[in-house]
A = this chain, B = another copy of it.
Amino acid sequence: MPKISYKQREGRRQQILEAALACFAEDGFHQTGMADIVKRSGLSHGAVYLYFQSKDDLIEALADDRHRRETVLNSVAQGSGDPIEGLHALVRVYAQWLTDPAGEARRRVGIHGWAEALRNRRVRTSVVEGIDMPRALIVALIERGQHAGLIKRDLSADAIARVLIAIFQGFVLQKCWGEDVDVEACMAAVAGVIEGFRATKSDMKRRTRA
């Protein structure tokens, strides 16, 4: 017979995760002390350990949380008709995510997670799965486009997907460092990049000849 309801329990969990997120965003995983998280959460040391086994558990919970959110993010732009339009839609979704002021902390923690992924297997798995998801999505779109003759065939679908993902990873970095990034303009450039993948008449001719 639990003393508090599932909802209450989940609320406390979120309270702690939010505190951890804020702390980690400010100072990174390893420069943040449990005391910081405890203080920020408004709970006690013991209470935090009632919900998470360890600091690492907290880090991994946030990694999982991020993973879950990205799953949702990707699902948004899944079943479009026109592949090229699908890519544009995906870019719009990620652009929105990139500029959402409420997501700043999450983006910063994301970067710390990228570094942590280099030495923590569990975090790496979560991070890699997090980019494999959109990659699979993009690859599917591109291959469909290539089949339909809408996208250049001389480029590897996987490579294109990696390029698009890399662009967003780089943007996250540049934005979080406080660079004066004109996201509008950048998105236009990305749109240009995508348009650049569109098969031209000469591509079709070349293909016919080949």
Contact residues of A with B, CB < 8 Å?
25-28, 30-31, 108, 111-112, 114-119, 124, 127-128, 131, 152, 154-156, 158-160, 162-163, 165-171, 173-174, 176-179, 181-182, 185-186, 188-190, 192-193, 195-197
Contact = CB atoms under 8 A, between A and B. Distances in A.
B193 A195 contact: no
Contacts of A190: 163
Interface centre among A155, A158, A160, A163 (most CB of B within 10 A): A163
Contacts of A154: 188, 192
Nearest to A190: B163
A171 B177 contact: no
A30 B28 CA distance: 10
A156 B169 contact: no
Given A28-B116, A170-B168, A189 B160 contact: yes
8 contacts: A25-B118, A114-B115, A114-B173, A124-B177, A127-B177, A162-B181, A166-B167, A169-B173
